[in-house]
């Protein structure tokens, strides 16, 4: 075993750690489980720009009381340096995962012991409600313990600033520095400030529900279609606390909850991945929707910030929309509805991420609305809203990873309000005698048929991150000149903030913060993005192709053609 790993294990066995932790380490030693011990201690679980995320268990590379405590102590130290003469107030929430309540109480107690007022939700709540609470109560920030849609073994820690958005520069790097400065668990104040912890709950639920209700554009249409057949699954997560109440507040009274997935459960017993992006995860809901002949199926992930949607296609078959299709439908609906209602403003804007479909740019342009592209992650959407506040009016934003945010009363993706909003959209189309899928095809005819796919490559273990780094460096050092018989025209490197025309050699600056993302734009209009995950040992490849769609009867043929085009690209790049 590596000497540094042995030293860390020895520190934990001799240090100020509880007996349960020490006994777990000794059991791994007695079982000669060197691989598990090495993985648990070979590095410190990194506090990245999004916080922490990792497998739960003992060790420096695991989510546990001590890694959570050290992260919170570092965050507290930065807050106290930033607000030296002010009372600091933070909100704390958690999802349905195993240990999430314990971690949230640990966070609240560490803040409290540092003289910080901690407002801890009484029970599990969705991430968007935490973001809303920070803004509504005018707090300095917040923390939610969640690992989003990761498997059951994981948990995490997302840190927020006073605008309700996740940490962005300079705060993210500064907090990381403070967290890294905590060298020992003895530096953490775990107890002594319990009087600084206040429990919150229903009052924030009511305020949030009222805010979401105000987002409705066509309450009169909902009144006519109040019995829209809605099937909803919280996938054992936090959505159950608010989604049914929000749908009722909108005026929908025919909602069926998927009983098998209704109860919050950190073991996620009916799924492998509690992710509404996965067809397996949504399969129970799809069957229920089909059996009932429902109008729409919605699913939310464990912390209630991602939404999945199922609808009947043009053949009457139940299908799941991808995140790009959902964003296209929602953004076009909002822009058209605001025009129809006479509430569109000359300074309206929408925001999307650089890996989200460019069809949204076209829709915005043809509706005379500005569309901004930001780095991946809703924190960048939140940051741009803050930058444009008072000058431009944020209407709606979305990203391909099933995230949407309507209005600016919070600053993170919000699946709870998205569920209600998507149901309103389905009600509007039904009132017009059509469906959301028909609407999507109409949009393809009007704006161009954009088709996207995503693949993720996982590289596990100590070498995993290195392999991903080597793959990205190889693309930078030797960018392909052709991909699937089409010349590569442009290489956009967001790490160096430089774009380059590979034919002419012309270069230009990319006016976005640095991020480890590469994009290849091909002569035939294909766009390929490569992005290592910031929270998992994965590298994601995003593919986008497009063409014209002349009529509805050409839809299936064109869809197959675009799908095959992406498969050819993936094959040519040897990614499968």
The predicted-structure confidence for 486-506, as pLDDT tens digits, reads as follows 999 999 999 999 999 999 999
Between CA 302 and CA 269 the distance in angstroms is 13
Residue pair 469/481 in contact by the 8 Å Cβ criterion: no
Between CA 432 and CA 550 the distance in angstroms is 23
- Taking only the tens place, the pLDDT of each residue in 297-322 is 999 999 999 999 999 999 999 999 99
Domain definitions of the chain by residue range? 1-42, 47-200, 208-447, 451-572
pLDDT at 72: 98
**Closest-CA residue to 40 (of 25, 50, 27):** 25
Residue 297, strand partner residues: 231, 310
pLDDT at 459: 82
Residue 10 makes CB contacts below 8 A (sequence gap 6+) with none
| Secondary structure (3-state) at 462 | coil
Between CA 521 and CA 516 the distance in angstroms is 17
Between CA 254 and CA 247 the distance in angstroms is 9
pLDDT at 222: 98
- Taking only the tens place, the pLDDT of each residue in 340-374 is 999 999 999 999 999 999 999 999 999 999 999 99
State the architecture of 451-572 in CATH terms: 2-Layer Sandwich (3.30)
Taking residue 86's Cβ as centre, other Cβ atoms within 10 Å add up to: 10
Residue 461 has pLDDT above 90, yes or no: no
CATH of 47-200, one of 1.10.390.10, 1.10.3720.10, 3.40.50.720, 3.40.120.10: 3.40.120.10
- Taking only the tens place, the pLDDT of each residue in 117-162 is 999 999 999 999 999 999 999 999 999 999 998 999 999 999 999 9
Question: Which CATH class name applies to 208-447?
Answer: alpha beta
Same fold, 47-200 and 208-447: yes
Query: Measured between alpha carbons, how far apart are the two ends of the chain, in Å?
Result: 34
Polymer length in residues for the chain: 576
pLDDT at 64: 98
Q: What is the CA radius of gyration of the chain?
A: 24
| Secondary structure (3-state) at 485 | coil
Mean pLDDT (the chain, rounded):
96
CA–chain centroid gap for 498, Å, is 26
DSSP assignments along 517-546, one per residue: -EEEEETTS-EEEEEE-SSSSEEEEEEEEE
Tokens of 433: 């005698």
Annotated catalytic sites, by residue? 148
- Lowest-confidence pick of 44-48, 140-144, 252-256: 44-48
Taking residue 528's Cβ as centre, other Cβ atoms within 10 Å add up to: 23
- Taking only the tens place, the pLDDT of each residue in 414-457 is 999 999 999 999 999 999 999 999 999 999 999 999 999 999 99
Between CA 309 and CA 301 the distance in angstroms is 12
Question: What secondary structure letter does DSSP report for 185?
Answer: G
Mean pLDDT score, 515-537:
90
Residue 534 has pLDDT above 70, yes or no: no
pLDDT at 221: 98
**pLDDT above 70 coverage of the chain, percent:** 99
* pLDDT band per the 50, 70, 90 thresholds, residue 394: very high
* pLDDT band per the 50, 70, 90 thresholds, residue 535: low
- What are the CA-CA distances from residue 572 to residues 382, 452, 475, 546 (Å)? 37, 17, 14, 18
pLDDT at 225: 98
pLDDT at 576: 73
Between CA 148 and CA 156 the distance in angstroms is 8
pLDDT at 464: 78
**pLDDT above 90 coverage of the chain, percent:** 94
- Taking only the tens place, the pLDDT of each residue in 2-42 is 899 999 999 999 999 999 999 999 999 999 999 999 999 99
Question: What secondary structure letter does DSSP report for 229?
Answer: -
pLDDT at 262: 98
Between CA 282 and CA 320 the distance in angstroms is 8
pLDDT at 467: 87
Mean pLDDT score, 476-481:
92
Which stretches of 209-285 are assigned E, i.e. beta strand?
A: 230-233, 255-257
Angle at 374 between CA 368 and CA 375, to 5 degrees: 160
Between CA 147 and CA 125 the distance in angstroms is 14
Tokens 């923390």: give the residue. Answer: 143
Helix (H) or strand (E) holding 384: helix 378-388
Mean pLDDT score, 229-254:
98
């Amino acid at each position: 075993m590596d000497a540094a790993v042995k030293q860390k294990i020895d520190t934990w066995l001799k240090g100020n750690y509880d007996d349960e932790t020490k006994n777990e380490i000794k059991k791994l030693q007695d079982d000669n489980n060197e691989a598990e011990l090495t993985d648990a201690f070979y590095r410190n679980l990194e506090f990245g720009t999004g916080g922490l995320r990792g497998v739960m268990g003992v060790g420096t590379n695991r989510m546990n009381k001590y890694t959570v405590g050290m992260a919170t102590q570092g965050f507290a130290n930065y807050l106290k340096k930033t607000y030296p003469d002010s009372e600091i107030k933070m909100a704390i929430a958690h999802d349905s995962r195993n240990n999430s309540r314990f971690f949230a109480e640990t966070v609240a107690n560490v803040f409290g012991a540092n003289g910080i007022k901690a407002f801890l939700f009484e029970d599990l709540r969705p991430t968007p409600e935490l973001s809303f609470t920070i803004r509504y109560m005018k707090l300095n920030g917040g923390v939610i313990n969640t690992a989003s849609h990761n498997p059951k073994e994981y948990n995490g820690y997302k840190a927020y600033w006073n605008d309700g958005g996740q940490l962005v520069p300079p705060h993210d790097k500064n907090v990381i520095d403070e967290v890294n400065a905590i060298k020992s668990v003895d530096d953490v104040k775990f107890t002594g400030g319990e009087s600084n912890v206040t429990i919150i709950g229903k009052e924030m639920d009511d305020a949030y529900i009222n805010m979401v209700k105000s987002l409705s554009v066509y309450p009169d249409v909902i009144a006519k279609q109040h019995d829209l057949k809605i099937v909803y699954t919280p996938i054992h997560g936090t959505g159950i606390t608010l989604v049914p109440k929000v749908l009722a507040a909108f005026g929908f009274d025919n909602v069926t909850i998927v009983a098998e997935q209704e109860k919050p459960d950190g073991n996620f017993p009916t799924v492998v991945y509690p992710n509404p992006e996965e067809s397996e995860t949504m399969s129970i809901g799809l069957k229920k929707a089909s059996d009932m002949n429902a109008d729409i199926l919605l699913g939310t992930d464990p912390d209630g910030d991602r939404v999945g949607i199922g609808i009947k296609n043009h053949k009457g078959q139940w299908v799941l929309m991808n995140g790009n299709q959902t964003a296209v439908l929602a953004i076009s609906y909002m822009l058209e509805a605001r025009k129809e209602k006479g509430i569109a403003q000359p300074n309206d804007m929408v925001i999307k991420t650089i890996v989200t479909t460019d069809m949204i740019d076209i829709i915005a342009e043809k509706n005379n609305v500005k569309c901004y592209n930001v780095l991946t992650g809703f924190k960048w959407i939140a940051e741009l809203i803050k930058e444009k506040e008072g000058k431009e009016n944020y209407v709606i934003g979305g990203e391909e990873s099933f995230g949407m945010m309507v209005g600016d009363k919070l600053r993170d993706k919000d699946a709870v309000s998205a569920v209600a909003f998507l149901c309103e959209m389905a009600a509007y189309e039904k009132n017009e005698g059509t469906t959301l899928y028909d609407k999507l095809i109409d949009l393809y005819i009007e704006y161009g048929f954009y088709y996207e796919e995503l693949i993720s490559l996982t590289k596990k273990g100590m070498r995993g991150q290195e392999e991903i780094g080597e793959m990205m460096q190889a693309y930078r050092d030797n960018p392909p000149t052709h991909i699937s018989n089409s010349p590569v025209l442009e290489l956009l490197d967001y790490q160096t903030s430089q774009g380059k025309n590979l034919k002419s050699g012309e270069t230009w600056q990319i006016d976005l913060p640095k991020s480890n993302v590469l994009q290849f734009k091909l002569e035939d209009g294909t766009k390929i993005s490569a992005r290592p995950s910031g929270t998992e040992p994965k590298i994601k490849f995003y593919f986008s192709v497009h063409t014209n769609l002349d009529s509805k009867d050409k839809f299936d043929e064109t869809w197959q053609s675009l799908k095959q085009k992406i498969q050819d690209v993936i094959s040519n790049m040897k990614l499968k």
